[in-house]
Structure 1
């Protein structure tokens, strides 16, 4: 199984999407904050591109969420 299709990775991306949507941030707005094209955000959210830890940190910073808070919420709630 490709690591991009690992259920834990899918959960991580789903949580990123949920956070972005709850903050009413569009893909375009997030991409602009990251100095990336909108297609970058779309590819990550569609599981066509994998985030590394540095990109994840940048993504969370743009959404004003600490990485510790994100990991605790994503991997300890309902685990």
Structure 2
């Protein structure tokens, strides 16, 4: 089984996180600072070199102003949409 960071689903999650960060009007630096992490934290997350555990993801959602459950719902819908376009 390939590592998570190499799965297409991981790219979908990263795209959603970046979209919500930008929608919140936050830079990577501001987001990292709000999480009490070094500047490189969000850069590493968005580039896919750093994985998040569920607690970190929940904290990030709070900073971005989106509920964890809402993010997961959006993630699942994005995957379904990707699956639908792949099948066609």
Q: TM-score, normalised by structure 2?
A: 0.83
Q: Which residue of 2 aligns with 1:23?
A: 24
For 1:78 and 1:49, locate their aligned partners in 2 and report how far apart those are by CA, in whole Å.
21
For 2:4 and 2:74, locate their aligned partners in 1 and report how far apart those are by CA, in whole Å.
21
For 1:26 and 1:49, locate their aligned partners in 2 and report how far apart those are by CA, in whole Å.
17
Q: TM-score, normalised by structure 1?
A: 0.91
For 2:41 and 2:79, locate their aligned partners in 1 and report how far apart those are by CA, in whole Å.
30
The number of aligned residues is 79
Structure 2: 5+ residue stretches without partners? 81-88
Alpha-carbon RMSD across the aligned residues, in angstroms, is 1.2
Report the Cα offset of residue 78 of structure 1: 6.3
Greater share of residues in helix: 2
Q: Which residue of 1 aligns with 2:37?
A: 36
